[in-house]
Structure 1
Amino acid sequence: MVLDLRICPACGDRAERPIVEGETLTCARCGHRWPFRRLPLFALTGPSGAGKSTVGPELARRLAPDVVVLEQDVLWTGALRGDVPSFRAAWLRMAAMLHQNGRPVVLCGTVAPPELEPLPERAFFDDVHYLALVADDEVLRRRLRARPEWREWDEPRIEEMLEFTGWLRDNAKALDVELFDTTDVPLDAAVTHAESWVRRLLADRARGVHTPALLRRS
């Protein structure tokens, strides 16, 4: 069995757009059908400086061994740097392969639904849930200015991130993204919120309950 779900295990064809029906894949070239695990994907997102990299390691400790927590920026190198669609697609393929081991994935990194939803690899997942950590502008400025020089957070780049934060706040409801403000929240509370978010959604799925994010935030 091939773990890369875009490759047919019968003929080796690499599907440009996977054909998915429930938890079954079909090869467009030879017609072979095979089952796969179609699990939910969790995106811990938000602007840089809001706390993703701080929350991630502790979240991984708390969710182990049930859930895999990964940092997206680890692939932001080499051929993928500057090619955002390929970067996102590579991560979705990686997460889908990990899902075949039976454990859901939490991806930590700055991403928004319009970047993932149109990709062909989106078909490999049941639902994609988004929890965005945000913070007040001045707090984000202070946190980003305090980062080491090699991370290259100059003022124009900081302002771009603040614009993204504003866009995220304005569009979260329409995009079905849950927000959590870390401005005055200690690390432990932020991790607890993220952990509860993941476990609650997994429990809902196990019971066959689908709760829209708009209601989860109320």
Structure 2
Amino acid sequence: MLDLKICPSCGDRADFPQVRDERLVCGECGHGWSFRRLPLFAVTGPSAGGKSTVGPVLADRLRDTVVALEQDVLWTGGLRDDVEGHPLFRSTWLRMAAMIGQSGRPVVLCGTVVPAEFEPLPERVFFSRIHYLALVAEPDVLAARLRARPAWREWDEPRIAEMLAFNEWLRADAATMSPPVDLLDTTDAPVADIASRVTEWIKARLPPDPREPT
């Protein structure tokens, strides 16, 4: 069963999946089964930090090792929940990433997220760890990038101010988050250099053999 919330024995669907001794356990029938409990890599940060630019490069350079995905592809009306932190949207992504991970390749998710929006969710149990790397930049550079975006993206001044505040919050508090968020300043760095540094960051945190189930 690719959907890890569904018991392959009795078919019960768990709202709160359980892991015991590195095996998923059905709360209804007690059946336990092995699965690949891989890390998830969240390449996060403010809009215009460089996530979407570096994503295709990661997909190419690490194509035999990870699956790189763009978070906004699921940002549809049905998942645009109004609850703070967007838990439905986040939970859907964790379920999707966990299913992809059963092929033996961890997911690199490029999109704006912070630990407080992933770590408390029931689906967090599917991952050994979530690693966070935020691409940030100097405020004037970030604002210029946002103002240069196409009109359909609707980056007006109030929205830009909101994103600048998020950028500054990340830069100030990343190290105190749980788990801490690593930072990479993209202000002056060429895309190739940013991609190389993100690639090395991911490689340094990959498990020895992600193809083996736990």
Measured against the shorter chain, the TM-score band is over 0.9
Q: For 1:149, which of 148, 151, 158 is the aligned residue? A: 151
How many Å separate the matches in 1 of 2:58 and 2:32?
A: 36
Report the equivalent of 1:57.
56
- The amino acid that maps onto 2:107 is V
Q: Displacement of 1:3 after TM fit?
A: 0.4
* Aligned residues: CA RMSD: 1.1
Report the equivalent of 1:187.
191
Question: Any residues of structure 2 matched to 1:154-169 within 5 Å, and which?
Answer: 154-169=156-171
Structure 1 residues 67-97: Cα deviation after superposition (integer angstroms, max 9, x where no partner): 1000000000120023411000000000000
Question: Any residues of structure 2 matched to 1:1-218 within 5 Å, and which?
Answer: 2-83=1-82, 84-175=86-177, 176-202=180-206, 205-206=207-208
How many Å separate the matches in 2 of 1:124 and 1:47?
A: 26
Question: Structure 2 length as normaliser, TM-score?
Answer: 0.93
Runs of 4+ off more than 4 Å:
none
Structure 1 residues 20-63: Cα deviation after superposition (integer angstroms, max 9, x where no partner): 12430111111111111000100000000010000000111000
SS of equivalent residue, structure 2 residue 96: helix
SS of equivalent residue, structure 1 residue 206: coil
Asked if structure 2 preserves the Cα contact closer than 8 Å seen for 1:66 and 1:103, the reply is yes
Question: Structure 1 length as normaliser, TM-score?
Answer: 0.91
How many Å separate the matches in 1 of 2:43 and 2:189?
A: 16
Asked if structure 1 preserves the Cα contact closer than 8 Å seen for 2:17 and 2:125, the reply is yes
Higher deviation after alignment, 111-120 or 78-87: 78-87
Q: Displacement of 1:66 after TM fit?
A: 1.0
Structure 1 residues 149-202: Cα deviation after superposition (integer angstroms, max 9, x where no partner): 111111111111111111111111112110000000000000000000001111
How many Å separate the matches in 1 of 2:103 and 2:7?
A: 18
How many Å separate the matches in 2 of 1:68 and 1:23?
A: 23
The sequence identity of aligned pairs, in percent, is 63
Asked if structure 2 preserves the Cα contact closer than 8 Å seen for 1:13 and 1:27, the reply is yes
- The amino acid that maps onto 1:196 is E
How many Å separate the matches in 2 of 1:18 and 1:124?
A: 8
Instruction: Tell me which protein shows more helix as a share of its residues.
Output: 1
Bigger relative contact order (CA 8 A; separation at least 6): 2
Asked if structure 2 preserves the Cα contact closer than 8 Å seen for 1:144 and 1:158, the reply is yes
Q: Displacement of 1:14 after TM fit?
A: 1.0
Q: Displacement of 1:142 after TM fit?
A: 0.5
SS of equivalent residue, structure 1 residue 130: strand
Asked if structure 2 preserves the Cα contact closer than 8 Å seen for 1:134 and 1:179, the reply is yes
Asked if structure 1 preserves the Cα contact closer than 8 Å seen for 2:49 and 2:136, the reply is yes
Which sections of structure 2, spanning at least 5 residues, go unmatched? 210-214
Which sections of structure 1, spanning at least 5 residues, go unmatched? 208-218
